Amino acid sequence: MTTATAEPATSAAYDALIAHIRETNLLAGTAGLLGWDQETMMPAGGVAFRSKQLAQLAKLIHERKTDARVGDWLADCEADNDLLADPLSPQAVNVREVRRAYDLATKLPTDLVEAFARTTSLAKVEWAEARKASDFARFEPSLREVVGMSRRKAECLSTSDTAEPWDALADTYEPGSTAAEVEALFNGLRPRLVELVGKLMGSATPPSNAFNERELPIDAQERFVRFVAEQIGFDFERGRLDRSTHPFCGGTHCNDVRMTTRFHKNMLGDALGSTMHESGHGIYGQGLPADHIGEPMGDDVSLGIHESQSRMWENQVGRSRAFWQWCQPLLKDYFGDALNDLSIDDVYGGINIVRPSLIRVEADEATYNLHILVRFEVERALMRGDLSTGDLPAFWNERYKQYLGVDVPDDAHGCLQDIHWSMGAIGYFPTYTLGNLYAAQLFDKARADLADLDQQFARGEFSPLKSWLNENVHAHGMRYRAGELCEHVTGHPLSAEPLMDYLESKLLPIYGVD
């Protein structure tokens, strides 16, 4: 694969295009901060006006993205052979990705974009209240409206090659992703995952769960997870950590990254995992090229690649024995004697407990992708019109019984657990599974390049891995598409083998299974 060479000279059209895109992204960053504030600090009484603010910004952003001058500038740039001589140069990448965004944006009517922003802003509030009350009926009218608008979006975005409505929406998160490909991916993963989980559940010597049952002060947990986030490389001079109902990571650019986490008295592992997960997103955001803020070249590749960074820090690092060799002795500094009786085997085993469960964000590595499968099937059915929003809870509950063998007791533990659909993020969920696959394959390559990675973790040294990711993944911005980046870094196309090999080689010994 070719690599970028010296940057070609720019042109008047290119300079005008990039100035326009940067100014547009200033508005997008402002909308992002308002969304972060709504989730973390905004008083409840501000919801109605905030929805108007976000709708107005969405309208302005869309108008700028669809400005006819953008099309003219792009045409001039695309006719400039000198400008695009190297397809991997920042200029060529910016033109390519602005063209893609422009073609997508010009297919969406401004009134639909504005209405969608207003509807989802209110829907997020309805979702939060419905989740607290475990009452899907309260959220269902909002979801019905979001699904209806999403179908309209899909109609606008579809081309002659679009096989079904879900594809058009998924392409906005993971370019090129289709329902058929995702279905094939799950068909390949499911048998091996089910076999693995079956072996683990049949173990006569499962690991202790004591680590996950200890009640620990929330303030101490927060101090602890902030410490770990900083140690693995999240820069608190360029980011912050707050609390929210559903952990997320956002912000405006590489020097202002906002992430959140959540806490439970008896689930330190959940708080740590969530924080390391969001820190992975944050480290990726902070590692993007600062010279290209506001340009595609300074943006992330795709949600699948973004998720690979968060899952790698959460799982390949945070659930490794080497990590806990460093981390376990530090628990006393934050929790006193509360965990003194637990050995490293207790803690390492506890953090890797496999147990079919109800909640996706609390799921273990072996069952996590089955949670994603349920959501994928729900979305696909909703977009096809095969499932009405009113029938969603029953569909969800049946699938959880079929795939995970668990009974769903209420809506809060069922179809109301995720914020994504209230945000209109239909087509998003499979990027989590793609992230798991990319994480395992990239980590294998990092391990090969950094031969003593486990020893480094055991000493609390995480900067070599962070630097490797900065250089091999983050610094490229959008230079490569997701699959191309994977092959460029690892030398191989994306495969399920590294993920399954990783899960089996770690979990079977923990459970004492051959």
Tracing tokens 């998160």 back to the chain, one arrives at: 173
Handedness of CA 84, 90, 93, 99 (dihedral sign): negative
Q: Whole-angstrom Cα distance, residue 182 to residue 372?
A: 11
208 DSSP 8-state letter:
P
The DSSP string of 54-65 is: HHHHHHHHHHHH
Residue 278 catalytic?
yes
Q: Whole-angstrom Cα distance, residue 256 to residue 502?
A: 34
Q: In what order do the strands lie in the sheet with 249-253?
A: 239-243, 256-261, 249-253
The candidate with the shortest Cα–Cα distance to 169, out of 483, 372, 395, 380, is: 380
Token pair of 437, please? 């696959």
CB of 430 within 8 A of CB of 174? Answer: yes
CB of 155 within 8 A of CB of 108? Answer: no
Task: Please state the φ and ψ torsions of residue 355, each to the nearest 5 degrees.
Answer: -155, 110
Catalytic residue among 278, 314, 365, 379: 278
Q: Whole-angstrom Cα distance, residue 96 to residue 100?
A: 6
**How crowded is residue 374: how many other Cβ atoms within 10 Å of its Cβ?**
22
The candidate with the shortest Cα–Cα distance to 483, out of 429, 450, 426, 437, is: 437
Token pair of 370, please? 């089955």
Task: Please state the φ and ψ torsions of residue 240, each to the nearest 5 degrees.
Answer: -150, 165
The candidate with the shortest Cα–Cα distance to 113, out of 179, 177, 172, 38, is: 172
CA dihedral 143, 147, 153, 159 (to 10 degrees): 150
Task: Please state the φ and ψ torsions of residue 427, each to the nearest 5 degrees.
Answer: 100, 0
Task: Please state the φ and ψ torsions of residue 473, each to the nearest 5 degrees.
Answer: -120, -60
Cα angle 370, 309, 502; round to 5? 55
Q: Whole-angstrom Cα distance, residue 187 to residue 358?
A: 21
Tracing tokens 């579809």 back to the chain, one arrives at: 158
Which residues on neighbouring strands pair with residue 256, listed in sequence order? 253
Task: Please state the φ and ψ torsions of residue 511, each to the nearest 5 degrees.
Answer: -90, 0
Chain centre distance of CA 494: 18
Query: Which of helix, strand or coil describes residue 409?
Result: coil
Which residues are identified as catalytic? 278
